Amino acid sequence: MSGKADWPLWEVFVRAKRGVSHVHAGTVHAPDAELALQNARDLFTRRSEGVSLWVVKSNDITASDPNDRESLFDPADDKTFRHPTDFELPDEVANM
């Protein structure tokens, strides 16, 4: 039970600088959250890529099914009126 094969997978998120969101960077294996942070630090921030790290157990992430892509996301395609460009206005107020 102590082999590395048993270590769970962790998703790593890095915040590049204050003011921006944490962005997914990749994964590490680690026996617990503390070591996952350590490993993430060594693997993803060796060149000052970040100021903050999050690690989340991969198993704790619920993802949408790729097969559902069309039913989930295509309905937005024919709602072009959600975009400002859908409304033609006179040149004088073009910047509105």
Give the residue carrying structure tokens 């996301």: 73
Among 9, 23, 52, 73, binds other proteins (CB under 8 A): 52
Compute the distance between CA of residue 27 and CA of residue 16 in angstroms, rounded to an integer: 17
Task: Tell me which residue of 74, 19, 13, 81 sits closest to 49, measured CA to CA.
Answer: 13
| Residue 75 contacts other proteins per CB under 8 A | no
Candidate ranges 3-11, 30-38, 39-47, 83-91; the one touching other proteins (CB under 8 A): 83-91
Site residues for other proteins per CB under 8 A: 15, 18-21, 52, 79, 81-84, 86-90, 92-93, 96
